[in-house]
């Protein structure tokens, strides 16, 4: 089968991530991908979102006969409907919703067998001049060089969790307010600053679309952390059950994920076992993207956490 043309790198783990986004074209409107190993035993949500972005982009370019980055993805709104099975391939089916003079829209549905595990709408826009405004990058945030690296953190953990995270995570994440991987934050706060970049440079000929897909691929691993901070939880808390329900991204400006990006994150609400988080992404003082994610954050009754129904 023919694969989508995505540049290669010899450096792991970025090489595996890019290979994972290099979907097979199985038909005029169908694509197939596989999954990377995850500790949870389920398909990683960011992977499916990134693959859906790549599939929709390839279909728009093929349909309209465009070169890369002529119509850039400017938004995606996705719903995670079922946990995916790591052992099974994922089939993506595209539906044309619109091809106008400036905008294109595609529906993407991800299947495993007869089950739909993910559905999304991806929108594209022809690159055009226009008035510009963007929020200012937060000031006086501790620079990434002075913040501990997640790469070093996981490399120092001598168990399956540390080995898998250090060998498969292509991002260097630096939590200005401290990590919540193993234990809750000392302070319950709904806010978090985070620096991120890929551990190795993206290939020189990477398209703007690929940069956006990799950012979407990466975000699912940290988007719910402000909710964990606010609720006094961590990723390893035995009392919690955490999963993404839906995720939206708006890409505003071009960026290079090989260089540091500041993420300003806040949990806006947590209730009924769900939490909503907003994140704004900045690079070189420019507001480059905005994300919203709603996730399931359930706590057992015997945990001592206050339970409410609203």
Residue 5 lies in a domain: no
In a domain, 116, yes or no: yes
- 221 assigned to some structural domain: yes
**At 159, which CATH number?**
2.40.160.210
Distance in angstroms (rounded) separating the CA atoms of residues 267 and 295: 11
* Domain hosting residue 86, numbered range: 13-126+150-299
Residue 137 included in any domain: no
* Inside any domain, residue 175: yes
At 226 the three-state DSSP class reads: helix
Letter string b/e over residues 156-189, b meaning 16 or more CB atoms within 10 A of that residue's CB: eeeeeeeebbbebbbbbbbbbbebbbeebbeeee
138 inside domain:
no
Domain count within the chain: 1
Does residue 140 belong to any structural domain of this protein?
Answer: no
Strand partners, 75: 123, 250
pTM for this model (two decimals): 0.93
**Rounded Cα distance, 170 and 265, in Å:** 21
Give me the tens of pLDDT residue by residue for the chain, a chain 310 residues long. 799 999 999 999 999 999 999 999 999 999 999 998 776 778 999 999 999 999 999 999 999 999 989 999 999 999 999 999 999 999 999 999 999 999 999 999 999 999 999 999 999 999 887 788 888 999 999 999 999 999 999 889 888 777 777 788 899 999 999 999 989 998 899 999 999 999 999 999 999 999 999 999 999 999 999 999 999 998 888 777 888 999 999 999 999 999 999 999 999 999 888 999 999 999 999 999 999 999 999 886 655 555 554 6
Does residue 284 fall inside a structural domain?
Answer: yes
């Amino acid at each position: 089968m023919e694969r989508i043309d995505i540049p290669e790198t010899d450096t792991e783990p970025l090489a595996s991530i890019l290979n994972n986004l290099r979907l097979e074209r199985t038909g005029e409107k169908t694509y197939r991908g596989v999954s990377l190993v995850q500790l949870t035993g389920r398909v990683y949500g960011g992977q499916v979102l990134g693959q859906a972005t790549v599939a929709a982009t390839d279909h728009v370019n093929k349909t309209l006969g465009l070169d890369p980055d002529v119509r850039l993805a400017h938004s995606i709104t996705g719903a995670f409907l079922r946990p995916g099975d790591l052992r099974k391939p994922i089939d993506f089916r595209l539906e044309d919703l619109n091809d106008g003079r400036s905008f294109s829209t595609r529906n993407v549905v991800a299947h495993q067998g007869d089950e739909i595990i993910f559905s999304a709408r991806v929108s594209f826009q022809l690159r055009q001049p226009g008035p510009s405004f963007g929020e200012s990058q937060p000031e006086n945030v501790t620079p990434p060089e002075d913040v501990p690296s997640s790469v070093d953190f996981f490399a120092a953990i001598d168990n399956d969790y540390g080995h898998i995270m250090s060998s498969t995570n292509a991002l260097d994440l630096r939590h200005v307010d401290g990590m919540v991987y193993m234990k809750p934050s000392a302070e319950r706060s709904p806010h978090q600053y985070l620096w991120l970049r890929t551990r190795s440079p993206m290939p020189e000929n990477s398209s703007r679309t690929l940069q956006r897909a990799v950012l979407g691929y990466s975000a699912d691993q940290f988007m719910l952390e402000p909710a964990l901070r606010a609720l006094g939880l961590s990723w390893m808390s035995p009392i919690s059950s955490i999963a993404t329900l839906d995720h939206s991204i708006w890409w505003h400006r071009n960026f290079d994920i090989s260089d540091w990006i500041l993420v300003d994150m806040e949990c806006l609400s947590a209730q009924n076992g769900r939490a909503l988080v907003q994140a704004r992404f900045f690079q070189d003082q420019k507001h480059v993207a905005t994300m919203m994610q709603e996730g399931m954050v359930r706590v057992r009754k015997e945990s001592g956490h206050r339970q409410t129904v609203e």
